[in-house]
Amino acid sequence: MRIFTSDAHLGHRARMEFVPGQMVPAIETPDRIDAVLRGLDRHGFAAPIEADPAAHEDLRLVHSEAFLAFLKSAWTEWEAAFGPELDGYGFVWPTRNAFGRIPEAIEGKIGHFCFDGVSGLTPGMWMASVGAAGAALAAARSVLAGEGHAFAACRPPGHHASADLMGGTSYLNNAALAAAWMANQGARVATVDIDAHHGNGTQSVFWARGDVLTTSLHIDPAHDYPYFTGYADERGEGAGAGLNLNAPLAVGSEGDAFLSSLSEVLSDVRRFSPDYLIVPLGVDGFVGDPVGKMSLSTKDFARIGDALADLGLPTVFTMEGGYSTEALETCVPMVLHPFRG
């Protein structure tokens, strides 16, 4: 198994984020990838390979030109308007207005292109995001070239970002970029998102496409982030009708419940008969995670890895959530272990 990463993530460190009722220190920090790589090294995985940043033409496979232009210039505009001492956040998050206007003021632009209060602008956000996307694309190219399974130690994460919206500390959708690039080469691709939160961005990107099956196991959005998507009746439309599958789980779900739902999801994957598998890998379902609402153990993550490996598909993993150092160091290697080769 090849491991890809980008040191550009070290330049992105948000200071604060909004949660219900208060502003708190941001939990999506560079320490997360340090913990992942420590764990992989301890378990004997190969040393990570530094990936090149994603090219603009690859980003356009998923994201709109206007959105990419916003992300690229957002910090410069924020710093000019408000100075460098504060992370960039909006203060109005409207439902998309009927006129489709994009304000000129950066705080208005943030409201247009961002759907929450945890995804701040920082000086290194753009380069970190392009680096993470580059790691995911390098992993996809490696797998498509027949070089075995691959893991992209992406940061920032990506599965909450859609074609023209950032959120959930996701700016570019790494997993969707990997899947779209593979599909663009003629491959049939399935995604199995095992993060504790719905992969709303990935669902949105492939909602009407017939060449990518998107699936997600997560806490019931009636009770957890992102609240407005991830329900079982969301099935896709047009060419993608029936090719989106959500498996919402009850708050506090333990390993047996998760593995039972995963078994059903994997049956749908087998029926789709993909050439390749993309796994947005979050370990925020770990019982000790500060924001997850599941109760999965380290052994449960080992069982998840075994179930995914039983598909027998060339697989790309992209790092998503997980905010417990213990889980990042121990659970990520447990999932990846059956794919080491």
Residues with a known catalytic role:
160
The rounded Cα 314 to chain-centroid distance in angstroms is 19
Q: Which residues contact 289 (CB under 8 A, 6 or more apart)?
A: 196, 283, 322, 323, 324, 327
C-beta separation of 2 from 40 below 8 A: no
Give dist(CA 109, CA 89) in Å, integer: 10
As given in the structure block, the two tokens for residue 279 are 């796994």
C-beta separation of 149 from 103 below 8 A: no
Q: Which residues contact 262 (CB under 8 A, 6 or more apart)?
A: 192, 194, 217, 247, 304, 307
As given in the structure block, the two tokens for residue 340 are 């080491």
φ/ψ of residue 169, rounded to 5: 60, 20
Burial bucket for residue 236 (CB in 10 Å: 0-12, 13-18, 19+): buried
Sheet holding 2-5, edge to edge: 49-50, 2-5, 150-152, 315-319, 276-281, 189-193, 212-219, 244-249
